[in-house]
């Protein structure tokens, strides 16, 4: 039986993986967060993988406070660079697969068509730079691995995400201002979790070393359009006022455009990708 280590198991993606895998008889999952395993501690990672006979690792752990990373770069580096590096080097020693989750923030957002895996990364924030460095660390380790970049992740399990914020504001305000000049794709964490679990049993058939794949839900929208869809579903009396991002200055720059092309993951692994609006309509009932 597979012993699959899931790090960051208390986060949005990790929580969805936990819900989907608990009770399964074909795999045994080890759910860890900081309290169970500090992935920035290389010795702790090695001991955990050895002691539990881990056969695959899914790394959902990340420092993802985008604005705070600008001033707390040391913490972001530890979790987004050294953490994946420790997991990857341990995976290389044990000959096991690592699935590492990355982000659309590795791109600068200057394109006007979906980003392919072969497009050159050029992050414009400290968060994006640390996540890219984490990708590089995984590749340099030489371990069996795939890297999955995703975007605009949300889940009812998340304490801080766009959907939860919009639902709160929609209940409190008559109108809200939301930026129209940031375009991407909302991704329901459960959809990504299902895609990962679909891919997992296929990995043993082909050795892959740091191959990058993109996954987000299908379609695209601006942040304002996303907010409008949320209000239409839950708070139709709250108006969404589209504004330029200059009205909301923030410590970290966001890519103006970060739509991801999913052709590769669909072709290689047969992953089916739902429309973001459909997934939002299902997910929002659970908030």
Contact 197, 17 (CB under 8 A): yes
Q: Which residues are catalytic?
A: 127
Structure tokens belonging to residue 20: 């989907």
For residues 170 and 239, the answer to whether their CB atoms sit within 8 Å is: no
CA 219 to CA 3: how far, in whole Å?
Answer: 35
- Measured CA to CA, the distance from residue 198 to residue 225 in angstroms comes to 30
Record the tokens describing residue 192, joined without a space: 């990504």
């Amino acid at each position: 039986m597979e012993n699959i280590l899931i790090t960051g198991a208390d986060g949005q993606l990790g929580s969805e993986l936990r819900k989907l895998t608990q009770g399964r008889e074909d795999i045994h999952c080890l759910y860890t967060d900081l309290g169970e395993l500090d992935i920035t501690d290389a010795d702790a990672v090695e001991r955990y993988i050895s002691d539990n006979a881990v056969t695959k690792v899914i790394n959902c752990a990340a420092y993802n406070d985008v604005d705070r990373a600008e001033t707390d770069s040391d913490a972001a580096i530890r979790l987004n660079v050294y953490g994946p590096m420790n997991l990857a080097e341990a995976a290389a020693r044990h000959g096991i697969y690592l699935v590492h989750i990355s982000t659309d923030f590795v791109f600068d957002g200057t394109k006007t068509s979906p980003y392919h895996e072969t497009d050159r990364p050029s992050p414009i924030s400290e968060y994006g730079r640390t996540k890219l460095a984490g990708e590089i660390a995984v590749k340099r380790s030489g371990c069996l691995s795939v890297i999955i970049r995703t975007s605009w992740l949300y889940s009812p399990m998340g304490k801080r995400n766009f959907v939860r914020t919009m639902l709160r504001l929609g209940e409190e305000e008559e109108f809200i201002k939301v930026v129209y000049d940031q375009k991407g794709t909302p991704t329901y964490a459960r959809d990504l979790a299902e895609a990962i679990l679909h891919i997992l049993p296929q990995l043993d058939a082909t050795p892959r070393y740091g191959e990058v794949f993109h996954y987000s839900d299908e379609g695209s929208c601006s942040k304002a359009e996303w907010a409008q869809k949320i209000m239409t579903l839950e708070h139709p009396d709250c108006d969404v006022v589209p504004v330029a991002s200059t009205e909301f200055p923030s410590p970290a720059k966001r890519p103006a455009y970060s739509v991801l092309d999913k052709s590769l993951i669909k072709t290689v692994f047969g992953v089916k990708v739902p429309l973001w609006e459909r997934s939002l309509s299902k997910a929002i009932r659970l908030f």
